[in-house]
């Protein structure tokens, strides 16, 4: 699959949250080899703190460019599933599909994650090509969501600019 995003949406970003340095480094290298940007975090808490520190992170407005989150299920501290639920409660997963990565996956956990809105569930070790294909699909979904959000905002701005008389017509 080749990533063909609509123009004007900015560069795609893949967020990596995994407590294993070797996994983050390997996935980051894989993404770089496919010309995809990534940002790694060693814990759920570190990722959440980075979001909290960014004033541009607002529900329904973030992310502004196609993004997805690769999230380890089991980590020291907050679990990936707990972070996923917290991000969902904050409205931050609408345009950022979440792909769970785990070395300890089981069918009930995978089903529960997908029912809660996860984009996909991938077991470690994973096939590089299959993982990149899933990431690219997630980025396309993100781009579609961001594009639709921008179109809605543009229509609303157009409505706000109508005169009182134009509203009556």
pLDDT mean over 54-81: 92
pLDDT tens digit sequence for 19-61:
999 999 999 999 999 999 999 999 999 999 999 999 989 888 8
pLDDT reading at 160 higher than 70: no
Count of H-run helices and E-run strands, the chain: 6, 5
Query: If 0-12 CB within 10 Å is exposed, 13-18 middle and 19+ buried, where does residue 74 land?
Result: middle
pLDDT reading at 149 higher than 70: yes
pLDDT tens digit sequence for 108-121:
887 888 888 999 99
pTM of the model: 0.88
Question: Measured in whole angstroms, how far is the alpha carbon of residue 31 from the centre of its chain?
Answer: 15
């Amino acid at each position: 699959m080749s990533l063909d995003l609509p123009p004007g949406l900015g560069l795609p970003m893949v967020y990596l949250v995994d407590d294993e340095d070797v996994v983050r480094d390997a996935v980051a290298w894989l993404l770089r080899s496919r010309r995809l940007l990534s940002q790694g975090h060693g814990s759920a808490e570190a990722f959440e703190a980075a979001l909290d520190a960014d004033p541009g992170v607002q529900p329904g407005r973030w992310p502004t460019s196609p993004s997805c989150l690769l999230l380890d299920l089991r980590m020291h501290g907050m679990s990936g599933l707990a972070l996923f639920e917290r991000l969902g409660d904050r409205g931050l997963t609408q345009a950022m599909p979440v792909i769970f990565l785990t070395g300890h996956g089981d069918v009930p956990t995978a089903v529960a994650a997908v029912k809660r809105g996860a984009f996909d569930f991938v077991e470690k070790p994973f096939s590089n090509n299959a993982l990149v294909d899933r990431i690219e699909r997630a980025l396309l979904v993100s781009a579609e969501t961001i594009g639709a959000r921008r179109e809605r905002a543009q229509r609303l701005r157009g409505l706000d600019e109508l005169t009182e008389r134009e509203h009556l017509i």
